[in-house]
Amino acid sequence: MGEMSTIVRLGLVIACAGILGCSGQITGGEGGNQDTGEVSLHIVSPANGATFVRDSVGHWGELVAALNVQADATGSIVELRVENAAGDDLGALSADDLSATIELGTDGGHTLTVVALDSEGNTIATDSVTVTVAAPEPDGCHEWLDLYNLTYDLGPDRQGVADPVTVTTPINGMVHRYVSNDTPRETFFMDCSLALSLARAASHFRRHDIVEVADIGVYNYRCIGGGTPPDCPNGISQHAYAKAIDLAGFTDKNGEFYSVNDDWVIDPDGNTCSAATENDKDAFLHQLICELKADRVWNIVLTPNYNDAHRNHFHVDLTPGSDFIRYELPSDGS
């Protein structure tokens, strides 16, 4: 997730009351009021040292801390903009109330700087505050789903499923469809933990302009490789716990379908996330699934590289204590 994005991006003009040709280069420390008598700028909110929790759903569907940046300013200021510590432009404060709502998507300290610009784009005043962002601490999986604004019913009870929920789709803005159907799913049965992983995955899908995910199913009370539990020589499948989903393809906003079966080119060396790709669709699928794995959305990812049984889908699941995609993640992965 990106560090921040701004919701309001508007310009502003502040009249220089009774002063002609107001100007002046002003910089200052955190939370201070810089004033030469010609131009002044002060961040009213947030307060320096304030802490915010990532408990709102952001623009892309990730959990963010949404906070209001508001300033007081006087002088011949043409525009007020917000920057982060790296100097990245986060957008402009509103002309109506000199404020903007921004989203902070990573935990820890963040420095916010409001920069005043003159008519030539020169910086004439700045003020900064430092805030802290903390992770939410919901009490159990259902409260996590509530944070993502998911609509769901508890149950029904199914053999092997510890925390069954039936989720109303879309899930965090993402449409889901069984691969052979023409119409989207209206509801989707799974364990709560898988519902949470799909809510997290939605932000990655949306950043790649995906509007619909096609699947081959979630719940199937069976052994790995076939057979019925508890007699499972290779172990019980995560599908038996409704903690796995088989992803068959993805449709983008232009109606282009990316099929795992047709568009994924099997990597001969087995190093899925560091392998060279053959074409645009192959590259798209590799980037997407490796990005999801690197963000630990799922613990296990089996691609067509794994074996013939996975030629037409990505199997992704939440096997406890596992961290696996084909053979290995690249050395610089997570």
Q: In whole angstroms, what is the distance from residue 40 CA to residue 226 CA? A: 72
Q: What angle do CA 64, 67, 73 make, to 5 degrees?
A: 150
- pLDDT of 20 > 60? The answer is no
Homologous superfamily (CATH) for 4-134: Immunoglobulins (2.60.40.10)
- pLDDT of 1 > 60? The answer is no
Q: What is the pLDDT of residue 202?
A: 98
Task: Name the percent of the chain lying above pLDDT 70.
Answer: 86
Candidates 113, 112, 114, 107; CA nearest to 132 is 107
Mean pLDDT (whole number) for 16-38: 38
Q: What is the pLDDT of residue 90?
A: 79
Q: What is the pLDDT of residue 326?
A: 54
Q: pLDDT tens across 238-267, in order?
A: 999 999 999 999 999 999 999 999 999 999
Bond before 230 cis per omega within 30 degrees: yes
Q: What is the pLDDT of residue 34?
A: 43
Please enumerate in sequence order all residues whose Cβ is within 8 A of that of 96, keeping only pairs 6 or more positions apart, or say none: none
CA 146 to centroid of chain Cα atoms: 16
- pLDDT of 318 > 80? The answer is yes
Domains of the chain by residue range: 4-134, 141-325
Name the pLDDT band for 96 (thresholds 50, 70, 90): confident
Mean pLDDT (whole number) for 193-205: 98
Mean pLDDT (whole number) for 111-125: 94
Q: What is the pLDDT of residue 8?
A: 31
Weakest mean pLDDT among 34-38, 136-140, 145-149: 34-38
Name the pLDDT band for 38 (thresholds 50, 70, 90): confident
Q: In whole angstroms, what is the distance from residue 167 CA to residue 189 CA? A: 6
Q: pLDDT tens across 223-237, in order?
A: 998 999 999 999 999
Q: pLDDT tens across 145-161, in order?
A: 999 999 999 999 999 99
Strand partners, 80: 116
Neighbours of 286 (CB within 10 A): 21
Whole-number mean pLDDT of the chain?
A: 87
